[in-house]
Amino acid sequence: MEASSLRGPPQDKTFSRLIPHLLLTLALSLPWVTGNGNPHQPYQLTWQVTNFETHEVLNETSHVAPLNTWFPDLYFNLDQIARIDEMEGGEWRKRARRVSLSRNGFYACPGFRTGPMKKTCGEITSLFCASWSCVTTNDGESKWQTQPWYVTMTYVRPCTRTRYSATCNLIRIKFEEAAKTDSRWTSGLIWGLNLYQTPAFGSPIQIKLIVNPASVPVPIGPNQVLTGKAPPSPRSRRKVPTVAPPTSSSSALPGTTPLPPDPETSNRLFNLIRGAYIALNQTRPESTASCWLCLATGPPYYEGIASVSNFTNSTNHSGCAWEQHKKLTLSEVSGSGTCIGKVPPSHQHLCNVTLTVPSTSHYLIPSGTDWWACDTGLTPCISTAVFNNSKNYCVLVQVVPRVYYRTGESFELQFEQKYFTRMKREPVSLTLAVMLGLGVAAGVGTGTAALVRGSYHLQQLRTAIDEDLRAIEHSITKLEESLTSLSEVVLQNRRGLDIVFLKEGGLCAALKGQCCFYADHSGVVKDSTAKLRKRLDERKKERESQQSWFEAWYNHSPWFSTLISTILGPLILLMLILTFGPCILNRLLTLIKDRLNIVHAMVLTQQYQALKTDEETQD
């Protein structure tokens, strides 16, 4: 069947006109976060198909593979889009609906076009199918020839009158070659899926690639409150349990004395953000053009990336910074690096190579950016004299603060709440370790510093980390008169309060439990709250300058468009009646009067007999 003979594309009025434009801008503006990484590094890749309107996950497929190498066929059930399970009337109606769905078919249009086609195909209100030229894939008895783009969607085995199980409307998504070079999959690409039926019905679906480390972070350290008594299996994707974020009622435990506010707290935490910015700006300058760097109020505050960097075996302890001995537990360690001692089975996946500590008295000194994460705590050096090979173990790690990276666009959209009246979408946040690519080198054994352009740019970050850890250790020392296992719990609550003080002081912008600082190529802005207000005002003026008069009314009062659409129909009908009603009424009265005159004349003629003419008389 030709496309011209088909019905027009549906107009789904359940979607707001402004929401999709903002969401798509967010989806297409996020960076490809691992572009500078090692191309041979495997990751835990998960392809996810979701209903973009309801956020229902239609399918998830996972595999460990390098980036840009794994594009499997994806599947989802069209019954979930058609909501067949919600139908009433018994199983026979559902079976008939499935057969009808396979026979009538579907068609889909991509929602990430650019240039003239973006205007031609419309927004999500029309499911990006405002014109038939926008259709790139379809299937069913009404299938017609289209130009495939990025993906094709086809029935695996359509339903028939004799085969109507709940899985017969399975749709296969196959990637085209053009899709395998696009870097936007981690942000998600959207298609408008239309069911070929009357009345029109459809839903947007999103195809997204989720990238996670190939190994699951596990805790290392003596604190059972943080690590848990039973470390998770390496294959488990369950998140490592940590202490709950602080609240106003949990800032101190009974029997302990709350620490007085540290006047240097704001400077110390700001230096941590600045060190993260310097390291990120030197390694990936394109990502710092406009971004927000955030500190979370809840733990973990640091993470360890297993490293295979070189360390020095020396008899001279002068190279060890013993004053930096840390009594801390790293609640998340990931990657694969150098291990020493008897590593338990639950942590052996962290070891790329396992060494035996020499029996002679030596000091194992890591490089300037590395630490030893041991079962006894975080330490800058290992003394073989006190290390017991039979029960102790350590992993060489690089300590990185848990700083979250967000693009300027995605962060600022969260504060424009009035444009998200229907669908809300969380901003994609990435940790500093992912942005720096630190976990990549640890997995393939090339060394963490191989991905960073020299270790010099990490020195300022290391200095800020040392300063912060020194303050943390000082706080723990003051709490040692209480239970040891609870000291870090109190500390974490205190750290959360420190960040709350920054937010209350207006030094950072608060978003979902995080304290965020704005950064661009000029550096980190300390008064980020004022910067956020300024950028939101600029975005508002720019948006208003591009809006039509009707959109401006909608933004001023969101209920105005609903009111107009409600009363506009009856108002127009009333105006038409008042304008053309008298003419139509006069015409009807004239017509009725003419008909009555004809009937009256016919009645009168029946009462008289016509006279004969002379010719009739002669005959």
Distance from C-alpha of 386 to C-alpha of 50, rounded to nearest angstrom: 54
Residue 618: per-residue pLDDT: 62
Please, which residues bridge with residue 59 across strands?
A: 49
Q: How confident is the model at residue 444 (pLDDT cuts 50, 70, 90)?
A: very low
Q: How confident is the model at residue 20 (pLDDT cuts 50, 70, 90)?
A: very low
Q: What is the DSSP letter of 183?
A: S
Phi-psi region of 85 (alpha: psi -120 to 50; beta: other; left: phi over 0): alpha
604 or 250, greater pLDDT:
604
pLDDT one-digit tens code per residue, 212-221: 877 667 777 7
Q: How confident is the model at residue 405 (pLDDT cuts 50, 70, 90)?
A: confident
Question: Is the model's pLDDT at 615 over the cut of 90?
Answer: no
619 or 68, greater pLDDT:
68
Residue 420: per-residue pLDDT: 44
Sign for the CA dihedral angle at 348, 352, 358, 364 comes to negative
Question: Is the model's pLDDT at 12 over the cut of 50?
Answer: no
Q: How confident is the model at residue 6 (pLDDT cuts 50, 70, 90)?
A: very low
Question: Is the model's pLDDT at 341 over the cut of 60?
Answer: yes
Question: Is the model's pLDDT at 518 over the cut of 80?
Answer: no
Chain mean position to CA 59: 16
Question: Is the model's pLDDT at 65 over the cut of 70?
Answer: yes
Question: Which of 86-90, 377-381, 434-438, 582-586 has the weakest average pLDDT?
Answer: 434-438
Question: Is the model's pLDDT at 386 over the cut of 50?
Answer: yes
Q: How confident is the model at residue 60 (pLDDT cuts 50, 70, 90)?
A: very high
- Mean pLDDT within 15-27: 38
Please, which residues bridge with residue 154 across strands?
A: 172
Q: How confident is the model at residue 512 (pLDDT cuts 50, 70, 90)?
A: low
Residue 235: per-residue pLDDT: 40
Residue 577: per-residue pLDDT: 87
Question: Is the model's pLDDT at 171 over the cut of 50?
Answer: yes
- 3-213 has CATH 3.30.750.24 classification: no
pLDDT one-digit tens code per residue, 142-166: 888 888 899 999 998 888 877 777 7
Average pLDDT along the chain: 71
Distance from C-alpha of 452 to C-alpha of 460, rounded to nearest angstrom: 14
Question: Is the model's pLDDT at 469 over the cut of 90?
Answer: no
Q: Which helix (H) or strand (E) holds 379?
A: strand 377-379
263: cis peptide before it, omega within 30°? no
Residue 509: per-residue pLDDT: 63
508 or 262, greater pLDDT:
508
Structural tokens at position 342: 């008897």
- Parallel, antiparallel, or unpaired for β 393-401 and 371-374? antiparallel
88 or 74, greater pLDDT:
74
pLDDT one-digit tens code per residue, 277-293: 888 888 888 888 888 88
Rounded to the nearest 10 degrees, what angle do helices 549-556 and 18-29 cross at?
Answer: 90
Phi-psi region of 561 (alpha: psi -120 to 50; beta: other; left: phi over 0): alpha
- Closest by CA to 294, choosing from 265, 279, 272, is 272
Question: Which of 190-194, 382-386, 549-553 has the weakest average pLDDT?
Answer: 549-553
- Mean pLDDT within 65-71: 84
Question: Is the model's pLDDT at 431 over the cut of 50?
Answer: yes
pLDDT one-digit tens code per residue, 524-569: 766 656 666 676 667 667 666 665 655 555 555 556 666 777 787 8
Domain ranges of the chain: 3-213, 259-545, 560-596
- Mean pLDDT within 46-63: 91
429 or 380, greater pLDDT:
380
Residue 307: per-residue pLDDT: 87
